[in-house]
Structure formats: C-alpha cells, structure tokens
C-alpha cells in the first residue's frame, strides 16, 4: 500500500498506470457561478435563446469546467495536496450539457525523478464519450 501525505502521494509512491477519478453532474448553478468567477459570459453558456440558434441547439458548459474537474482529481486525489501544476494541455472533443455527468480521470504516464515531475494523461467522459483529452505535468513533493 502506498504511503499518503495529507490524502495525497509522495513522488516515490507513484507508478506508471496509477489512476484516479472524480465525477460531477453539471448544473445550471455551475454555469452561472463559473461565468461569474471567470468573466466568461459567452451566450453559448448563459443564454438559452442564443444557444438554440447554434449547432448544439442548447447551452453548453464552459470547457474549463471540465478542466477544473481534472484539476480537482490532481489536487485532491492523485497526486493530491502539495502538488503543483507545471503544464496542462486540453483538447475539447465534444460538448458538455447541463445535467451531463462528467467523469474526469488522470493516469500516470511518466515519472521524472530528478525534477519530481509526473506526467498524466487527463480525460473527461460523459457516459463513454470522450469530451476532453489532454496531458498534465505536475511537480510532486518528495518523502525526503
């Protein structure tokens, strides 16, 4: 069993293939709050009448809400508290709608001991459909 630090992992406890996830159902309140926090009031997210005229025919969630779910997994589960984001790339593959349940998954793909960097594949799915695909690198605390 891996040793944990404040519900997270030390660099030495991580291994390629290790994964964790977090799921959340996107709500109307999430879109409103995210718009307020981010300043992104694009009508595709906040105006139903406008959104009906788009190719999606309904409002879609801000892509970075899914990005934030990835951040939640990394910051709270794997590797967890104490880690620091270095990079994140995201490819938005499909829309997320209000009431969709998004499952964010991170998986360790490489370890760079000299820098304590860990690279992760980061994905979000709604049901089995890939909606976000990406990669993140984090610096992770060492036991020493």
Q: Residue 135 belongs to a domain with what CATH number?
A: 3.10.129.10
- Kindly state whether residue 144 falls inside one of the protein's structural domains: no
- Kindly state whether residue 88 falls inside one of the protein's structural domains: yes
Choose among 143, 76, 90, 84: nearest CA to 121.
90
- Kindly state whether residue 30 falls inside one of the protein's structural domains: no
Q: Is the pLDDT reported for residue 80 higher than 80?
A: yes
- Kindly state whether residue 2 falls inside one of the protein's structural domains: no
* pLDDT classification of 7: cutoffs 50, 70, 90: confident
The whole-number average pLDDT for the span 86-107 is: 98
The pLDDT of residue 88 is: 98
pLDDT digits (tens, 9 = 90+) for 40-62: 999 999 999 999 999 999 999 99
For the full predicted model, state whether its pTM sits above 0.85. Answer: yes
- Kindly state whether residue 118 falls inside one of the protein's structural domains: yes
Q: Is the pLDDT reported for residue 144 higher than 80?
A: no
* pLDDT classification of 8: cutoffs 50, 70, 90: confident
- Kindly state whether residue 67 falls inside one of the protein's structural domains: yes
| Residues contacting residue 66 through CB under 8 Å, at least 6 positions apart | 90, 92, 96, 102, 104, 124, 131, 132
d(C-alpha 26, C-alpha 81), whole Å: 24
Number of domains present in the structure of the chain: 1
């Amino acid at each position: 069993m891996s040793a944990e630090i404040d519900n997270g992992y030390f660099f030495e406890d991580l291994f390629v293939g290790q994964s964790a996830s977090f799921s959340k159902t996107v709500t109307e309140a999430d879109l409103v709050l995210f718009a307020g926090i981010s300043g992104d009031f694009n009508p595709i997210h906040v105006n139903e009448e406008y959104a009906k005229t788009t190719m999606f025919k309904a409002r879609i969630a801000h892509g970075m809400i899914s990005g934030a779910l990835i951040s939640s997994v990394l910051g709270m589960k794997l590797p967890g508290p104490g880690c620091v984001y270095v990079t994140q790339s995201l490819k938005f593959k499909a829309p997320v709608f209000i009431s969709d349940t998004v499952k964010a998954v991170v998986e360790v793909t490489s370890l760079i001991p000299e820098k304590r960097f860990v690279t992760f594949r980061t994905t979000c799915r709604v049901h089995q459909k890939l909606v976000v695909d990406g990669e993140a690198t984090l610096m992770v605390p060492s036991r020493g």
